[in-house]
Structures are given as C-alpha cells and as structure tokens.
Amino acid sequence: MSALFDLTGQNAIVTGSSKGIGKAIAHQLAAHGANVVISSRKADVCDAARDEINTAVGREAAVTIPANIADKGALQTLVDETHDKLGQVDILVCNAASNPYYGPMSGMNDDQFTKILQNNIVSNHWLIQMVAPEMIARKNGSIIIISSIGGLKGSPVIGAYCISKSADMQLARNLAVEFGPSNVRVNTIAPGLVKTDFAKALWDNPDTLARSTAGSALKRIGEPDEISGMAVFLASRAGAFTTGQTFVIDGGATIM
C-alpha cells in the first residue's frame, strides 16, 4: 500500500509554504520522498521552514526560493530556479492566498477586491501556465489548488474571498479538461476552519472558536497536518485517476 503514496524522486513547488497548511503539505510531501520548494515572500521564514522540514525527514529534501505571487516575473523566477536547483516540476501546490478585508462587500475598496482576485485566482493561473507545458510534454503531473469551503457558500464578511475560492474550483475543472488527455491532473482541496495564522480571527478567542465550530459535526477546529494527507494522495500514484475534483476537508461543517 505504501508504494501508492511513494513520491521518491519527484519535485514539488508549494507556494505559501513557510507556515500553516502550506508548510504541512510541504512537510508531508517530503516525508513521502519528494523534494520540495518552500516559497513565500520572506526569505527568513522560508529558511526556517526548510530547516524544520529537513531536520524532521532526515535529509536535504527542502530548498528555499522566495517569491511574491502577485509578481509574474517573480513566479517565473520561482519556476526557473526550481529547474536549476531540483530539475523538472512534477507537483505544483498553489496554496498562497490573500484576504485583506473582513466585512460586507459594500465596504470593500477596489484595491482590496483586486488584490484578492489577483492573488487567489490570477496568480494561480500564471503559475500553472508556467509549469503545465513541461508536465504536458512528459504526460504526467499533478496540480493542486488550495481552495476553501468558502467557495461553496455565501458569507456576509468574506464575500470576495469566497468568490475567489469558488473560481479556483472552476479553474481546476477547466484545466482538468484541457490537460486530461496529457495525463496531467488538476484538483482542489477545500479546507474548513483550520488553526492557521490566516484564520486566526476565527479561533484566537475561545468564544469565537466555540461559535466557529458549533456548526460542524466534529465540533473542533482542524490542524494543518489534517489537510496535508489529501495533497499526498493527489500528488501520488494513489490519485492517478482523480482530476477536476474538489475535496472538502472541514470536520463536517458543510453537512450540518
């Protein structure tokens, strides 16, 4: 069974991987044999995550390549330096995202709306288009977009974020159709509330946490590592017949 999840010799880029869900995914990809690029805007936090992962897996599995996802040139540099340091890109995880506004959409300014759409949709499109040609040429590859259950429902306070995450699901479906004949799979993972800095406003206060988890079947917040196993599945041979799908991992929040 373990051979189904063996990623030995494969190379992965994981954006937003200096902390939270991205770091957990990078860690588990490395633990299953992959070489991983740790990438976010700040080099020092990337280096810290790299060192933590390499110590945990007992080998030099992770390298650091900082990049700002809003900068198309920086994303191309990320891909080019991955080729220089590791070789071909077999796995791409688009995890980095932004949500600079909390409140009704009527109060959002244009810059905030544009930033959400840029970082959560357009940047994913850019990066995927940079790595897809080599995957298509080899007729093998796995692309994973980290979406959110926010993309499945409306919200009075994170509406634009939800719009962007719904669009990521459709981006995956479209690209799965386009890339499918070349055996390149594209899927999304839609986490519920997970204990990350990104979602801190929803769990940092005990009363807020209780309200945030009351509507879920498991009645608790998720941990980043509880999302990472799905990424391993989708990247490995176990997920070789899986494409165009959204996998909800939310402690039962969307079934209540």
The predicted-structure confidence for 33-68, as pLDDT tens digits, reads as follows 999 999 999 999 999 999 999 999 999 999 999 999
Nearest to 25 by CA among 232, 244, 238: 232
205 vs 61 pLDDT, higher one? 61
Give the model's pLDDT for residue 107. Answer: 97
Give the model's pLDDT for residue 211. Answer: 85
Q: What is the pTM of this model?
A: 0.96
Residue 209 banded pLDDT, cuts 50, 70, 90: confident
Torsion of CA 15, 19, 20, 22, to 10 degrees: 20
Which 3-state string (H, E, C) describes 34-92? CEEEEECCCHHHHHHHHHHHHHHHCCCCEEECCCCCCCHHHHHHHHHHHHHHCCCCCEE
pLDDT in tens, 71-80: 999 999 999 9
How far from 67 is each of 17, 72, 120, CA to CA, in Å? 11, 10, 15
C-alpha atoms less than 13 angstroms from C-alpha of 163 in its C-beta half-sphere = 15
- How much is the average pLDDT of 84-107? 97
Q: Does residue 146 contact residue 14 with C-beta atoms inside 8 Å? A: no
Residue 149: pLDDT above 90?
Answer: yes
Give the model's pLDDT for residue 1. Answer: 46
Query: Which residues on neighbouring strands pair with residue 150, listed in sequence order?
Result: none
Set out the domains of the chain in order of their start, with CATH numbers.
2-194+225-251 (3.40.50.720)
Name which of 113-127, 131-145, 201-215 the model is least confident about: 201-215
Residue 31: pLDDT above 80?
Answer: yes
Residue 206 banded pLDDT, cuts 50, 70, 90: confident
Q: 159-179 and 123-138 helices cross at what angle (nearest 10)?
A: 20
The dihedral of CA 235, 241, 246, 249: what is its sign? Answer: negative
Chain centroid, CA 189 distance in Å: 8
Give the model's pLDDT for residue 208. Answer: 81
196 vs 2 pLDDT, higher one? 196
Q: What percent of the chain has pLDDT over 90?
A: 91
The per-residue pLDDT of the chain, averaged, comes to 96
How far from 102 is each of 112, 119, 199, 231, CA to CA, in Å? 10, 16, 11, 28
Q: Which of 5, 101, 161, 179 is catalytic?
A: 161
Give the model's pLDDT for residue 212. Answer: 84
Residue 92: pLDDT above 70?
Answer: yes
Secondary structure class of 185 (helix, strand, coil) = strand
Q: Is 161 a catalytic residue?
A: yes
